[in-house]
Amino acid sequence: MIGNLNKKEIIAWLKEDDARRLKRLWEAADTVRREQVGDAVHLRGIIEISNYCRRYCHYCGINAANKQLQRYLMPGDEILEAVGQIENFGYGTVVLQAGEDPRIGADWMAGIIQSIKKETSLAVTLSLGERSKADLKLWKKAGADRYLLKFETSNPALFDKIHPPVNHGWKNRFEILAYLQELGYETGSGVMIGIPGQTYADLAEDLLTFKKLNLDMIGCGPFLAHPDTLLGNAFKERMHDTDQVPNTEMTTYKVMALTRILCPNSNIPTTTALATLNSKNGREQGLKRGANVIMPNVTPVRYRQYYEIYPNRICLREFGQDSDQIIKARIINAERTIAVGKGAALSYIQRNRNNKGRTDK
């Protein structure tokens, strides 16, 4: 079954509701995960460094049209303090995430990256939106290891409908992802599941696109309606459309399992959006259905309420040492181990090895 599913088969799995057959899907994904990337679960500490955003994405609560929201940009020393906490927790990676914020100057960011690389042994992942070629290049040179940029949907008409453009010279996110790979970033992407207007065929195409792009990290979470956004109420109207992908926990598991089968060597997180839908054991279930990464939120608590991309984020209830302990306990509960080290994706390690023309030794 590994790597070998066509669009028709993927659509059939996405629509499957027979519990016995689904159990076979979970088991297949779990087996591939165990054989390819092993039992260790990588922890990545996310710091949401700014909630300013110049974009008007129709699903996102921190989009520029939301004038109610209090905005912040973390000062450098607070970012480095949070980085220190990530080290104390023993995680291998820091993820610096923000809205698409022009206040984040390229040189300022490069300085932060350099400090982190100088003072810690952490891998640095950036998730800062659609930035210029010059910025992406500068940050790679400064020491950034990875970049996350979700393409959200492979259907260009649906993408354009929910993402008012800015004039920045890029054709689309695929062009940016290709450039990130060319620069040598470990490259991550993903989609939202159940965007109003997203069909099963669209979602199947998303999954095939993950494979085609050779992504190292693939994060997929359910679309969660935010009442202050244009898409916030659109879902109710679509619920009875039989071709509309439901934004449910079950569909999310199916996507994670199919992603693992199609992209056996990629790193796959069990997302915060999934844990928000099922705070009881969503993370564990994700780990049993293909995932090998968890990304705990380490943003200073006073900022968290303002990074409201969707309502009731689980990280509003989980923080500090407690959350670290709880998340580690969940990993052990799921009969897995806690990884040490940076946790580069196997796909990335293998590609670099091949590029260097080296054999195994």
Binding site for ligand 5AD (CB under 6 A): 59-60, 150, 152, 192, 221, 223-224, 226, 273, 309-310
Q: Which is nearer to ligand 5AD, 32 or 299 (CB)?
A: 299
SS3 at position 146 = strand
**Least distance to ligand 5AD, CB of residue 64, Å:** 13
Asked if residues 82 and 36 have their Cβ atoms less than 8 Å apart, the reply is no
Nearest to 173 by CA among 151, 190, 153, 148: 151
**Least distance to ligand 5AD, CB of residue 224, Å:** 4
**Least distance to ligand 5AD, CB of residue 202, Å:** 15
Beta strands in 20-145 (DSSP E): 40-50, 93-98, 123-127
Q: Which is nearer to ligand 5AD, 36 or 66 (CB)?
A: 66
Q: Which is nearer to ligand 5AD, 116 or 309 (CB)?
A: 309
Q: Which is nearer to ligand 5AD, 59 or 147 (CB)?
A: 59
Q: Which is nearer to ligand 5AD, 60 or 315 (CB)?
A: 60
**Least distance to ligand 5AD, CB of residue 192, Å:** 5
Report which secondary-structure segment, H or E, holds 323.
helix 320-333
* Separation CA 222–CA 204 (nearest Å): 15
Q: Which is nearer to ligand 5AD, 28 or 60 (CB)?
A: 60
* Separation CA 97–CA 319 (nearest Å): 17
**Least distance to ligand 5AD, CB of residue 60, Å:** 4
* Separation CA 131–CA 102 (nearest Å): 9
**Least distance to ligand 5AD, CB of residue 76, Å:** 22
Asked if residues 274 and 194 have their Cβ atoms less than 8 Å apart, the reply is no
How many CB atoms lie under 10 A from the CB of residue 139? 24
